[in-house]
Amino acid sequence: MCGILAFFDKNGHYKGTPEELKTHLTSLSHRMVTRGPDGCGYFGGKNWGLSHERLSIMDPEGGKQPIIYDELRTGGSPMASVVNGEIYNHHDLIKKHGKEGLPPMTGSDSEVINYLYPILGKELVKELNGIFGLVLTTNDGKEILVARDHCGIKPLYIGHGHNGEMWFTSELKCIVDQDCASFEEFPAGHYWTPETGFVKYYNPEWDHDDYVPTEGVENFKAVLEKAIEDQCMSDVPFGLLLSGGLDSAVVAVVLKGILEKRGKEFHTFSVGEDDSPDITAARLMSKHLGTTHHEHRFNADEAFENIEKIIYHLETYEPELIRSAIPNFFLAKMTSQHVKMVLTGEGSDELFGGYLYFRDAPDNKAFHKELRRIFHHLHNVNCQRADRMTMAHSLEARVPFLCPNVIDAVMKIDAGEKFIHDGRPAEKHILRAAYEGTMPDSVLWRTKAMQCEGIGMTWVAELQSRCNKMVTDEEFENRATTYPFNTPHTKEEMYYRGLFEKHFKGMDKFVHVWEGGCRAGGAPWKNAAYTREGLKDVK
């Protein structure tokens, strides 16, 4: 994973020298150095530039960015790209479209962007299986292609200058104080060129309003296991974030066999308070698989002491997301001391209906519609949390459940197969059934718990109590005047909002706030267990 920053001034308003532009852009890019502490690269011209902060996972020695193709290689204008992410099918794409006698220059998966652009043009993004934000340019900055992966696993933002300048960046902190008329999040599953504007390229069949999923459960397991193996692509040591829940346990079972074949040590990482449900289940799973297990013992004191730092990296004030990100922050910090890349179980709940409120879904149609709704919020919740908390500590996170092939396979399964009823004692029954016998039953059939509850039962209440003391009654009474947009409902929310405004003033349009203040609040059916202040009843 890396951090990218690109600037294009098509109207020539920038009056500095190319060297001054380089100095300016690399200094802005360096604000996200934790995304790539292994090196900084730059390529540009008079009125444009690409800057890159590198975390070296593939071809550590030869895969430096920007990746540049000169005139001899392109047969035309020089070409350069910066990529944040991983392209898992890069070998397959080069075999499929490659030109005889023109092999890639490096072992970097990112080079496939340069390699395919002369052959496929902007249509290349439709064939990528990966997680990415990318910017490619040729013809001295005049021809531009920008794209973000299918469901926004990697972040990307745009700034629009007053005179037509364009900024593209992995994190808001790089451009928050630049002279921009407006900012926006780059939409997931889209590409952009100056000629076309935004074009939606990820448009799966299952996401159409008239689509009714009817397929069986036979195929998804093989697709998932291939995705896990594909995402083990790495030239550096890696491991697994083992939460103690079903999803990471499934990944662990598959990953065990892959690492054994490679003769590699299996490292797992967990976070929680002493004897919390997550820590206990993760230990059991680690013992079952024989992993080298690492734990961070979590407490409310360190949570409160690091709230501002966490919000700075997370770039949000949304309370449900902040609470779930806090333990991830400390987990990533500990994990980064051992490996540079990890797999996670993120995304499974949005495919199988893993949240407890799905028990109240009235019918198949409502169930599938709700899956679609929360899937399209992933870029602002689970994906944002996974990316920002790991990247805060220079750690790369991969999410095999969100491979487009896995998404397609699971979202086409008849929603009736995902329902919870008397014959299926827990949510995600089809996933559990597929891996029965591969792990202890106490892990396989463990009831879903939100992460901020699973790592300990009291820390959230303690954190909220401390936040409440930081906001006076008078400040809270005037909250609508202070924050007319997304007005806080609790003192906890107001405290987070103040810390966000300290670093990202005027950027609140980027913060997704769930309808009703929580994930379940926007569902077409009611559920009393999910509230603005957390999950109140897990029974």
Per-residue pLDDT of the chain (539 residues; tens, 9 = 90+): 699 999 999 998 888 999 999 999 999 999 999 999 988 999 999 999 999 998 888 777 777 899 999 887 887 888 999 999 999 999 999 999 988 778 888 889 999 999 999 999 999 999 999 999 999 999 889 999 999 999 999 999 999 999 999 999 999 999 999 989 999 999 999 999 999 999 999 999 999 999 999 999 999 999 999 999 999 999 889 999 999 999 999 999 999 999 999 999 999 999 998 888 999 999 999 999 999 999 999 888 899 999 999 999 999 999 999 999 999 999 999 999 999 999 999 999 999 999 989 999 999 999 999 999 999 999 999 999 999 999 999 999 999 999 999 999 999 999 999 988 777 767 999 999 999 999 999 999 988 765 555 666 688 889 999 999 999 999 999 999 999 999 999 999 999 999 999 999 988 877 888 888 888 888 999 887 777 887 765 44
What is the Cα–Cα distance from 100 to 227, expressed in whole angstroms? 29
Is-contact 389 400, C-beta < 8 A?
A: no
Burial 9-45 (b: 16+ CB within 10 A, else e): beeeebeeeeeebbebbbebbebbebbbeeebbbbbb
Rounded Cα–Cα distance for residues 178 and 105 (Å)? 36
d(CA 250, CA 245): 9
Kindly report the CATH number assigned to the domain that includes residue 50.
3.60.20.10
The tally of domains found in the chain comes to 2
Neighbours of 524 (CB within 10 A): 12
Q: Which among 203, 223, 243 is the end of a domain? A: 203
Token reading at 45: 């011209």
What does the angle CA 123 – CA 127 – CA 128 come to, to the nearest 5 degrees? 110
Question: Prior bond to 66 cis, omega within 30?
Answer: yes
Q: Same domain, yes or no, for 239 and 192?
A: no
Examine residue 209 and state whether it is found in any structural domain, yes or no.
no
Taking the CA atoms of residue 398, residue 402, residue 406 and residue 407 in that order, the dihedral angle to the nearest 10 degrees is -170
Q: 137 phi and psi, to 5 degrees?
A: -145, 150
- The partner residues of 421 in beta bridges, in order of sequence, read 424
Separation between Cα atoms, residue 455 and residue 469, nearest integer Å: 24
Q: How far apart are CA 387 and CA 384, in angstroms?
A: 5
Same domain, 36 and 93: yes
Supply the CATH number for residue 487's domain.
3.40.50.620
**One domain for residues 154 and 252:** no
Q: In sequence order, what E strands does 106-171 have?
A: 130-138, 143-148, 157-161, 166-169
For residue 210, being part of any structural domain is answered with: no
Is residue 385 located within the same domain as residue 296? yes
Start-to-end C-alpha separation, the chain: 39
Per-residue CA distances from 448 to 207, 232, 253, 459 (Å): 26, 27, 19, 18
Whether 220 and 170 map to the same domain: the answer is: no
Range of the domain at 343: 215-535
Same domain for 322 and 467?
yes
Regarding whether 231 and 189 lie in a shared domain, the answer is no
Sign of the torsion formed by the C-alpha atoms of 54, 503, 486 and 199: negative
The residue with tokens 């397991």 is 221
Co-location of 253 and 120 in the same domain:
no
Asked if residue 31 belongs to a domain, the reply is yes
| C-alpha dihedral, 313 to 316 to 318 to 319, nearest 10° | 30
- Compute φ and ψ for 449, nearest 5 degrees: -130, 135
Q: What's the farthest any 2 CA atoms get from each other in the chain?
A: 72
Return phi, psi of residue 354, to 5°.
-85, -15
pLDDT attached to residue 329: 97
The CA dihedral of 87, 93, 99, 104, to the nearest 10 degrees, is 30
Q: Which residues contact 519 (CB under 8 A, 6 or more apart)?
A: 320, 355, 357, 374, 377, 381, 530
What angle do the packed helices 111-120 and 90-97 form, to 10 degrees?
Answer: 30
Report if residue 127 sits inside a domain.
yes
Per DSSP, the three-state class of 180 is strand
Query: What residues contact 263, with CB distance under 8 A and at least 6 apart?
Result: none
Domain match, 224 and 198 both: no
Q: Are residues 343 and 451 in the same domain?
A: yes
Burial of 54 (0-12, 13-18, 19+ CB in 10 A): buried
For 464-472, the CB contacts below 8 A with 24+ separation are 464/490, 464/492, 464/533, 466/300, 466/304, 467/304, 467/307, 467/491, 467/492, 467/495, 467/496, 468/492, 468/495, 470/495, 471/495, 471/498
Contacts of 163 (CB under 8 A, 6+ apart): 9, 11, 13
Which of the residues are catalytic?
Answer: 2
Q: Which of 203, 237, 260 is the last residue of a domain?
A: 203
| Residue that is last in its domain, among 156, 178, 203 | 203
What is the residue-wise DSSP string for 276-291?
A: -HHHHHHHHHHHHHT-
Calculate the CA dihedral of residues 32, 37, 39, 41 and round it to 10 degrees.
-10
3-state SS string for 290-332: CCEEEEEECCHHHHHHCHHHHHHHHCCCCHHHHHHHHHHHHHH
Per the domain annotation, does 208 fall within a domain?
A: no
- Tokens 């003769």, residue? 263
Does the residue 70 lie in any domain?
A: yes
* Distance from C-alpha of 230 to C-alpha of 277, rounded to nearest angstrom: 31
Which candidate, 124, 138, 55, places its Cα nearest to that of 89? 124
Same domain for 264 and 171?
Answer: no
Question: Sign of torsion, CA 359 365 371 373?
Answer: negative
Q: Is residue 452 part of a domain?
A: yes
DSSP state of 181: E
Residue 496, H or E segment: helix 491-504
- Do 371 and 263 share a structural domain? yes
